[in-house]
Chain A
Amino acid sequence: MKISEMEREEFLLPGNTACHGCPSSMVLRTVLKALKGEVVLVIPACCTSVYMGPFPGSALKVSVFNTAFASAAATASGIKASFEMQGDDTEVVVWAGDGGTYDIGLQALSGAAERNEDIIYICYNNEMYSNTGIQRSSATPFGAWTTTTWKGKTEHRKDVSEIMLAHGVPYVATASAGYLKDLYEKVKRAKDIRGFRYIEIHAPCPPGWRFPMDKTVHIAKLAVESGMWILFEHINGEFRFSGVSKSIARGKRKMRNLEEYLTLQERFSHISDLELSEIKRYVQERWSRLVKLEGEKDAVVAKFYV
């Protein structure tokens, strides 16, 4: 698909209150274009609930229902059921941050996935609670500074996309703010599938991660190129890497040095060599795990950082 073929209409209006360099508004704009604005969005407490702007205005040109932090997937299930009973086939889409997905909203998400609700759940993952001002979430990577982990986080992040794989839902994909065309295509594919669909978008946050606001896309790309964020798609039981991650998995592309990615972000400025090697070990382990999901046909990636 060419960029010129993307939807021209804007559904997230300019002049909204998102920070400069915000990845969330950028990917939301892309998602709504892919869905042609024919959606009802369900948004739990997150940055978007702020940057959509205050009543009586709204920066969103689609229908939006704001809901409580823990209950996005449940609220969406209710709206979908209601529409079904009225013969309305409007797509119901959850738009949540990693706080509302990984932590407080995980139970409702798991419930909706297990029931195979016919909704799309999109998590924009900026690896922390950014709306409350940079606190750790269970998506925060090992070593990262936040205002609740001043010396750096002492645990690795968990991975909800893998948890969603374990639910056996029809569609799971990861995407990145660095690759909007890939995101656009994934959302379009998800739209044509029925049942529960989960998409998680890596969203580097300039104020939260402490990098200049013109570097969002650069950092997002580095995350994928360094193997720290892995792009994949899982459609009806079949797992496949996508984009740059696919080239890495096939051995066609060497991973970039992880330090390149980490040193650009001040949140990692304090980490020791020991901590760095721990992050590398985690990345290796994760690749090995995902490669197995693809049936180990890409065993070449066993030597990522050699």
Chain B
Amino acid sequence: MPERNSEIKILTGNECSAYSAMKSKVRVVAAYPITPATPVVETIAKLVESGEMRAKLIRVESEHSAMAACIGASAGGARTFTATSSHGLAYMHEMLHWAVNARTPVVMAVANRAIGPGWNIWADLSDSLSQRDTGWIQLYCSGNQEIYDTIAMAFKLAEDRKVLLPAMVCYDGFVLSHTAMPVEVTDFDGFLDEYEPSWRLSAEEPFTHGNIVPPVYFAELRHNIQKSHDRALKLMNKVEEEFYEFTGRETPLILEDYRTEDADIVIVTMGAIASEAKVAVNSLREKNVKAGLLRVKSFRPFPEKQIKEHLEGKRVYVFDRAISPGSGGPLFREIRSALAFSDVKSIVPRIVGIGGVDVTKRTIERAIFERKIWVKEVVS
């Protein structure tokens, strides 16, 4: 393992975002504060003003403008980053689509939070999951080191010429965004160097970007985006390996498998709940229940084939910290669709942690033993 310039710092999830953006050589940030993502912007402002981070921070007047400025900055050829949450992400919606069709590889941290009314500032993945169809790569983290690592990996992936898609790095509001943990702050020189865009706006070589696109060309444009997602999925293994070579850390991009090989029942979930689910798996095994965990890190692109391989022959419990009213848990629906025509024994949905309801290992255990879809109370 080569010696890397790194130090251990005690950082919150939001600080991890800011530090990783700095170490990823982000040159433009345009952001608007919103709980619980605000400290990302505050930390970046501090790093920029102290001269530690060489970047221009545009303190825009809304999230819609934040994403518009990020798209402009990326099209202008700079590595670009922002952070938001909940209503802010919803307000960006139009520009999220724009970033995809414009092929601007912006990376964004999303501190997941419920959407009101009533005002609820706590963890809930409904905000980013309802942006599912915008075409962004979506990666869900379950720890602070992972947030730090994933932002750099996301740039590597998003900027690859075969991909050129924006990526959001999501983590549960407060549970991760405001919890401090020891984090290895690694320099990424050699893993992620100064951004060299494959295209950029310039006066010297004029071209028109985004004018009217007739139907046949538009179908081609959309098909290319789908193909880029397929290529992104293939590239993820390579980025995981490169990152491991570079840091010695096994930070997954696609899936994390925890004791599923000999398991009868497998918990499938995303985000911070997956950390708690590991505790639940061990506790269940002490009670002679052969449990395992499959954590989905990449929700888009959705690793259908890999998921199927891990879950054949199992009894599957899908835990969603989000609800698509009128349908069910968004992850559950995806998993069930991925497992169609497989020999999986059963697939059951569980809705937990909505609006920040605390999810303990007992919540998970009870959800497995009881035949109830929703757990709305704190099980301590």
Contacts and interface: CB of A to CB of B under 8 A. Distances in A.
A77 B78 contact: no
Interface of B: 27-28, 30, 54-56, 58-62, 64-66, 68-78, 80, 94-95, 98, 201-203, 205-214, 217
Given A66-B211, A86-B78, A81 B202 contact: no
A62 B210 contact: no
Contacts of A52: 208, 211
A38 B208 contact: no
Interface string A132-168: 0000000000000000000000000000000000000
B64 A56 contact: no
B206 A82 contact: no
Contacts of A39: 203
Contact of B212 (A53, A62, A81, A84): A53
Contacts of A88: 76, 202
A104 to B, nearest CB: 10
Q: A-B pairs with the 5 shortest C-beta distances? A: A78-B72, A82-B76, A111-B61, A71-B68, A78-B69
B214 A67 contact: no
Interface in A108-128: 108, 110-111, 114-115
A74 B208 contact: no
A90 B206 CA distance: 12
Contacts of B95: 68, 71
B72 A64 contact: no
A68 B68 contact: yes
B210 A40 contact: no
Contacts, number: 165
Contact of A71 (B64, B80, B205): B64
A66 B210 contact: yes
Contacts of B61: 107-108, 110-111, 114
Contact of A82 (B78, B212, B217): B78
A42 B94 CA distance: 17
Given A50-B212, A53-B211, A68-B94, A81 B206 contact: no
Contacts of B213: 54-55
A103 to B, nearest CB: 14
Given A68-B68, A82-B72, A63 B203 contact: yes
Contacts of B77: 82, 86
Interface residues of A, number: 47
B299 to A, nearest CB: 25
Contacts of B62: 107-108, 111
Contacts of A85: 27-28, 54-56, 78
> Which among B55, B203, B217 has the highest number of chain A CB atoms within 10 Å?
B203
> Which among B27, B64, B69, B217 has the highest number of chain A CB atoms within 10 Å?
B69
Contacts of A64: 206-209, 211
Contact of A78 (B68, B203, B212, B214): B68
Contacts of B65: 71, 73-74, 77, 107-108, 111
A83 B78 CA distance: 8
Given A63-B203, A68-B95, A115 B58 contact: yes
A58 B73 CA distance: 23
B28 A65 contact: no
Given A52-B208, A81-B58, A74 B203 contact: no
Given A63-B206, A75-B69, 9 more contacts: A58-B208, A63-B203, A64-B206, A64-B208, A66-B209, A81-B72, A82-B75, A107-B65, A110-B61
> Which among B30, B56, B74, B206 has the highest number of chain A CB atoms within 10 Å?
B206
Contacts of B207: 58, 63-64
A85 to B, nearest CB: 4
A75 B68 contact: yes
A37 B98 CA distance: 26
12 contacts: A40-B76, A42-B72, A54-B214, A61-B206, A66-B209, A68-B68, A70-B68, A74-B30, A75-B69, A78-B75, A86-B77, A111-B61
A61 B208 CA distance: 8
A288 interface: no
Contacts of B217: 55-56
Interface string A24-56: 000000000000011110100000011011111
Given A54-B214, A68-B98, A111-B61, A81 B201 contact: no
Contacts of A63: 201-203, 205-209
Contacts of B60: 74, 77, 111
Contacts of B211: 49, 52-55, 58, 64, 66
A75 B104 CA distance: 12
